[in-house]
C-alpha cells in the first residue's frame, strides 16, 4: 500500500509518467482532481456559527484553503440563511448533522460530509482515513454521539429545542 501511495505522490509532485504510476494514480488520487470552469464549483460547507467547536474547526479549514478558495463556508446561524439556496437543507436539518454540497451539487451528510470537506482543503488523506472500512463504523458512532450532544456540551441545549438557537448572554 505504501508503495502505491508513494507512486501517487511521485506522479503528483515530480511528474512521473511511468505506466504503473499512471494506473495507480486515478485509484488513489481521484479526489485530488478538479475541473476548472467559469462557474462556481466550490464545495459548500454548512456549519453552525454559534458552536464554538464547529467555529474552531472551520477557522482552521479556512486557514488551510486561504489561497485556493475552493470552499464556501455557509454559517447557518445567520438570520439570512435560506435552505432553498442550498439544496433545500433547512436550518433544522443542518443543525442535526454536518451537511456539505460538493462540486457536482450533491449533498453529503455526517462522516461523508467531513470527507468531502477535508478533501477540498487539502486534507484528503484524513477524509479517506475516516471513510476507510475498518475506521468508518467507529467514526459514524462517535459523530452520532457528538451531533446528538453538541448543543448541550456547548451550553445551548435548552434554547435550541425549537426554532433558531440564540447565544446565551451572561
46 in the same domain as 20: no
Domain membership flag for residue 163: no
Domain membership flag for residue 84: yes
| Cα–Cα distance, 71 to 86 (Å, whole number) | 14
What percentage of the chain has pLDDT greater than the value 70? 68
| Distance set, CA 115 to CA 14, 16, 100, 121, 168 (Å) | 26, 27, 9, 10, 31
Strand 43-47 versus strand 99-101 pairing type: antiparallel
pLDDT digits (tens, 9 = 90+) for 59-100: 999 999 888 778 999 999 999 999 999 999 999 999 999 999
Domain membership flag for residue 169: no
CATH number (domain holding residue 75)? 3.40.30
Q: How much is the pTM?
A: 0.71
Which domain covers residue 28, as residue numbers?
Answer: 1-33
142 in the same domain as 71: yes
59 in the same domain as 103: yes
19 in the same domain as 101: no
9 in the same domain as 86: no
At 94, list the grid cell.
Answer: 443542518
Cα 34 vs. chain centroid, distance in angstroms? 16
Amino acid at each position: 500500500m505504501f508503495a502505491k501511495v508513494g507512486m501517487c505522490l511521485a506522479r503528483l509532485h515530480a511528474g512521473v509518467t511511468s505506466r504503473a504510476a499512471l494506473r495507480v494514480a486515478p485509484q488513489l488520487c481521484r479526489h485530488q482532481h478538479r475541473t476548472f470552469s467559469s462557474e462556481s464549483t466550490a464545495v459548500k460547507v454548512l456549519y453552525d456559527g454559534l458552536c464554538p467547536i464547529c467555529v474552531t474547526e472551520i477557522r482552521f479549514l479556512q486557514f488551510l484553503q486561504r489561497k485556493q478558495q475552493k470552499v464556501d463556508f455557509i454559517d447557518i446561524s445567520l438570520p439570512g440563511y435560506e435552505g432553498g439556496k442550498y439544496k433545500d437543507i433547512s436550518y433544522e436539518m443542518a443543525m442535526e448533522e454536518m451537511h456539505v454540497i460538493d462540486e457536482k451539487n450533491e449533498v453529503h451528510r455526517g462522516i461523508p460530509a467531513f470527507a468531502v470537506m477535508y478533501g477540498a482543503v487539502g486534507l484528503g488523506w484524513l477524509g479517506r482515513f475516516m471513510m476507510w472500512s475498518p475506521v468508518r463504523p467507529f467514526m459514524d458512532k462517535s459523530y452520532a454521539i457528538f451531533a446528538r450532544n453538541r448543543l448541550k456540551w456547548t451550553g445551548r441545549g435548552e434554547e435550541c429545542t425549537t426554532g433558531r438557537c440564540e447565544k446565551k448572554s451572561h
